[in-house]
Every structure is written in C-alpha cells, then in structure tokens.
Amino acid sequence: MGNTTSTTTCPECSGRLRAEGDETVCAGCGLVVAEDRIDRGPEWRPLDDDRRERTGAPLTRSRHDRGLSTEIGRGGRRLTGRKRRMLARLRRQHNRARIPTKAKRNQVYGFTEIRRITGALSLPETVRDRACMFFERAQDEDLLRGRSLEGFAAASVYAACRTASLTRSVAEVVEVAKASADELQVAYDAMNRDMGLPTGPIDPAEFLPRFASELNLPTRVESRARELLAELRDTGHLAGRKPGGVAAACLYAAAREANYPLTQRRAATVANVTPVTVRGTYRELE
C-alpha cells in the first residue's frame, strides 16, 4: 500500500474509488488503496462547539494585546500544595509582565468596560472594536489625564455608534455604563475636538425603524412617519430638537392618523424623552 495512487479504479475489483479523510477507499470491496496523512482541508475550520481547529483565536482590537496573551491555568485539584503555590506565583509574575505600566492597566480597564457596555447594548463586534480604537487613540493623545476612564469608555462606545450610523442615544449608553451623562459628554467633547471624529448631525430617520419595532407599529405607520419627518425637515422645524423625540412624535402622529392605539407616554418612553417633548413636536405637525 503506497502513499499516493494515480489510478481511478480499484486494482482488486475495478470498483470506484472515493476519498475518506486521509484514505482512498474502494466503494465496492472496501480496500484501502492509498493513504495521505496530510490534512489538505482549510487551516481555519469551525467545529460544532464554535471552537477553531489548529489555530488560535482571531486578533481583536478589543484587547490590549490583540488577544495574543497566554493564560496560566490552576492545574486542577490533583496538584500538591507546593505545585499550587508555584503556579500562583507564576500567574502573579505573568500578570505583572503582561500589564507592566499604569497606562497599559488603564487601557485594560477601559477595554473591559467597553466590552461590557457593547454587550449590554447588543452592539456588533465592529462597533466594539472601533470603540476600543477610539479609546486607545484618546489615550495616545493624552486626553485621559484628569478625566474619568469610565466616561471615556462610554464616550468611545457612543462615538463608535455615531460613526457607524447606529441609533444609540446618550441616555441609552449612560443607562448601562458606569459613567454619568456629564462624564460622557465631557469625554466625547474632548474626543470630538482633539481627534476630529467623523460624525455629523443625527438624522431622526435613523430612529424610526427601531422605535417602530419596539412599539409594534405596522409598516404603514412607519412609512407615514417618514413622510411627516420629511415635512418637518422641509419647513425647518428640526433645528434645536432632540432627534429621538422628533422620531417619536412623528410615529405618534402617524399612529393617530391611522387610528392605531399609541399614547404619547409610550412613544416618549421608547425615545427616552418626556411626553412634553413629544407633544411639542406633535403640535408643530398639526
């Protein structure tokens, strides 16, 4: 039995050959005609439990070392006390070498907070990685000195959402963050001023699909809300108003036209504004 074969039929019964894993087998008599121990499949192959074979985890911007760190395990319960103490000492020394400076420790803390916020908001990994990039850039620009790390982590997530055209308001980010609204605003203003974030005015139309979905509104109501929003834009009534409140008011007005049961309070709750804000924009539409 050789390592390779150039035949297409079985030398014993002239049956059809087929490749099974690293062996070439006759479909008729089961003779192993050849074997090849080299796995010629893809190097990056997913398994059933979402693990990867023969390679490590992918590089990610959401970790200070791009995910290339090494973890020292605890060795299980069978280790003696001496071995267990040795592993604890190795882990301690390894952590000190992995995070050698205060700046790197602040980055680890900021990235951890960003991962927590993006997970709580169900944001995609692209937004998470972009937020970590913003945080790292702010640290390189020396913007974190004397300011809140939690505020910059929350501001980085908010800035990443803005640049990715994802509708997340300041109130929504603050609700799951450890920073206050003032800390987020101070950090975001510093980043926007010194880093030149590619963000523009928020379009209220970006809020309509999400608000309509959370309120279980039919498609015709959302379509009519877009028409009402276009009328407000054409008449110049959007200046100085909260984008989320404008979107909620347009949905409320469209629902009233369609005789769909929707209260101002429900619309305001979804947009994280007061019913007074919704009522003011609704009066402009009237």
**pLDDT surpasses 70 at 127:** yes
28: pLDDT strictly greater than 70: yes
Residue 134 confidence (pLDDT): 92
At 37, is the pLDDT very low, low, confident or very high (cuts 50, 70, 90)? low
Q: Give me the helices (H) in the chain, please.
A: 81-98, 102-120, 125-140, 149-163, 170-176, 181-195, 208-214, 219-234, 243-257, 264-271, 275-285
CA atoms within 13 A on the CB side of 209: 6
Separation between Cα atoms, residue 241 and residue 277, nearest integer Å? 9
pLDDT of residue 5: 43
Rounded to the nearest integer, the mean pLDDT of the chain is 80
């990685």: which residue's tokens? 129
Tens digit of each residue's pLDDT (9 = 90 or more) over 63-84: 655 555 677 776 666 777 778 7
Q: What whole-number distance in Å separates Cα of residue 141 and Cα of residue 64? A: 17
The Cα–Cα gap between 224 and 242 comes to 20
How many C-beta atoms lie closer than 10 Å to residue 123's C-beta?
Answer: 21
More confident residue, 149 or 72: 149
φ and ψ at 38, to 5 degrees?
A: -85, 125
Which residues, including other chains, have CB under 8 Å from residue 27's CB and lie 6 or more apart?
A: 15, 16, 17, 18
Cα separation, 136 vs 111, in Å, equals: 9
Share of the chain above pLDDT 90, in %: 12
On whether the CB atoms of residues 194 and 141 are closer than 8 A, the answer is: yes
For residue 35, give the 3-state DSSP assignment. strand
**By mean pLDDT, which of 116-130, 195-209, 213-227 is the weakest?**
195-209
Q: Is the pTM of this model over 0.75?
A: no
